A and B are shown apart, each in its own frame.
Chain A
Amino acid sequence: MNKPLLEVEDLWVRFASKKRVVEAVRGISFSVGRERVGIVGESGSGKSMTGRSILRLVRHPGQVDAKKIHFDGQDLQALSEKEMRDVRGHKISLVMQDPKFSLNPVMKVGDQISEAYRVHTNASKAEARSRSIEMLNAVQIRNPERVYDSYPHEVSGGMGQRIMIAMMLIPEPDLLIADEPTSALDVTVQRRVLQIMDKLVQERGMGLIFISHDLNLVASFCDRVIIMYGGRIVETCRADELQNAKHPYTRGLLNALPDIHQPKDQLSVLERDPKWIEDPSVDAFL
């Protein structure tokens, strides 16, 4: 593939308390090109923190250290907070898991989407409105004019998530970090949302980091997969080869899944090996 859009080397995220330091992400290195990269892992594996640390969204007392976080040739760690605001949304967008907490409850949905557009372009209000409605249409919201003028509490969870996605896509970012974007959605809507993201990758050459716990979905949707455990990358492979993964953790996860077509008497239970935590992180470069 082409040259990487995002390069991350030796990334650490630490949370220090009085008693001890919790290391959420422990020295991982990876790169993302104009492709779909899936990050899978269980809760607490550090996958969400990885996404947040790229945009410098890890809150105090969390601390992010890395040898290198380069985006499109630009050193993100060297940017001031003001310059960082220009990167967020415009160049790199983040879709978070829960729309309930990521939309402003006292602002109309449409105004929030227009704002995202106007902050990064010089568009007029009317232009932003028509563009927003277009975007709402694109994420399959029926009656977008009505939704434009509603407040977040007036829309359902699935619709809220689609609104978030519309908002993140309207500034046309080069890289989209999607943190469990579809886990709250119905299957039919989920498919539609994935199609929209897929199209942006294929047609506009957007890069996508798709954070998820759903192995089947990642295997079928992404180009490459990064598997995280205990803050480290334990394995990386092409998505269509995930079924042949070698690491015992990945194998364990795959075997723990019930299968529609092959009935099993008992599901195999994952036996965790303490060695996995100690093993060095695998580099996931292009």
Chain B
Amino acid sequence: MPSSENTMPKDMPIALNIQNLNVYFGEGHEKFRAVKDVSISVAAGGSYGLVGESGSGKSTVLRAVSGLVTNWDGTIAVNGETISKKREMSYCRTIQMVFQDPYASLHPRHSIDRTLSEPLRLHKFDNIDDRVNQALVDVGLGTSFRFRYPHQLSGGQRQRVAIARALMLEPEILLLDEPTSALDVSVQAEILNLLSDIRKKRQLTYILVTHDLAVVAHMCDEIAVMSHGEIVEVMDVQTMRDSKPQHEYTRELLEASEGYQAEA
């Protein structure tokens, strides 16, 4: 498969550059290559979408970048610096991740305050009190939520907390793994608006993984389509809006997102 060409605007520096990434699961003869020779580069301030069906390896790419899976080879460079397997503390300040299921990604017995202040303590930030309050205001929750527990919040509110947590260390790059797929459409709209606002305000770089083509068209400038661990096509958002993809598989995905059509 051809790896993606760098079709980034030339004037922006590259925030994240992945070259020939392979991720493996299992050992010996059961070793399975979940991600195959994936190369993407994302300009600083850009918003990059990874779409594909379940099992296509799209989340695994994010997990390799964030260091949650370790069995990978290839090159991952952040702001021009190639990163090693062992992650530095400072790396966490550059890249943070928001997970799919807000019901699973918050510690059920930690208060929101503890969830948000823990990364600050680990990284020896000052003014923890103010920062936590400010973070809650920034994601539209308000300080009254500070001493509640996750079970007292709705799914949308939980996802706001998860976003606040990811923003605590003031990262430059946010990895978003299906951030709205567990939410109702009306709540999805709120969260997507919040994410767009934050990106504008803080000039963040997003890498968004989703199976929903409408969401990716709304959020991203450039989109890579993955299937069976490989990138089959990279296109800009306009190509997608005009429904003019090159690859057969992308066409099929686009067609299916239009709804049901009786057998041809």
- Contacts A220-B261, A267-B192 given; does A187 touch B256 at CB 8 Å: yes
A191 and B189 form a contact (CB under 8 A): no
Does chain A have a CB within 8 A of B190? Answer: yes
Q: How far, in angstroms, from A64 to B53 measured CA to CA in the complex?
A: 39
B-facing mask of A242-286, CB < 8 A → 1, else 0?
000000000011001111110110111110000000000000000
Q: Helix, strand, loop or mixed for chain B's interface?
A: helix
Q: Which of B54, B184, B218, B256 has a CB less than 8 Å from the CB of A267?
A: B218
Question: What's the least CB distance linking B50 to chain A, in Å?
Answer: 16
Chain B residues in 8 Å Cβ range of A261: 241, 243
Question: What's the least CB distance linking B226 to chain A, in Å?
Answer: 13
Does chain A have a CB within 8 A of B26? Answer: no
Question: What's the least CB distance linking B127 to chain A, in Å?
Answer: 32
Chain A residues in 8 Å Cβ range of B186: 42, 252-253, 256, 269-270
A216 and B258 form a contact (CB under 8 A): yes
Q: How many residues of B contact A (CB 8 A)?
A: 33
B240 and A260 form a contact (CB under 8 A): yes
A188 and B241 form a contact (CB under 8 A): no
A263 and B218 form a contact (CB under 8 A): yes
Does chain B have a CB within 8 A of A195? Answer: yes
Question: What's the least CB distance linking A253 to chain B, in Å?
Answer: 6
B253 and A256 form a contact (CB under 8 A): no
Interface residues of B in 189-242 (CB under 8 A from A): 189-190, 192-193, 196, 213-215, 217-218, 237, 240-241
B259 and A258 form a contact (CB under 8 A): no
A266 and B253 form a contact (CB under 8 A): no
Does chain B have a CB within 8 A of A57? Answer: no
Tally the A-B contacts, defined by beta carbons under 8 Å. 90
Question: What's the least CB distance linking A45 to chain B, in Å?
Answer: 9
B-facing mask of A150-187, CB < 8 A → 1, else 0?
00000011100000000000000000000000000011
Output the residue of A42, A187, A253 with the most chain B CB within 10 A.
Answer: A187
Question: What's the least CB distance linking B60 to chain A, in Å?
Answer: 16
A221 and B259 form a contact (CB under 8 A): yes
Q: How far, in angstroms, from A2 to B53 measured CA to CA in the complex?
A: 40
A-facing mask of B48-85, CB < 8 A → 1, else 0?
00000111000000000000000000000000000000
Q: List 9 A-B contacts (CB under 8 A).
A: A186-B53, A186-B54, A217-B260, A257-B185, A260-B217, A260-B240, A261-B241, A264-B218, A268-B189
What are the 7 closest A-B residue pairs judged by CB atoms, nearest first?
A: A220-B259, A187-B256, A258-B218, A270-B186, A256-B189, A267-B189, A221-B260
Contacts from B to A (Cβ < 8 Å): 53-55, 155, 184-186, 188-190, 192-193, 196, 213-215, 217-218, 237, 240-241, 243, 252-254, 256-263
Contacts from A to B (Cβ < 8 Å): 42-43, 156-158, 186-188, 190-191, 194-195, 198, 213, 215-217, 219-221, 252-253, 256-261, 263-264, 266-270
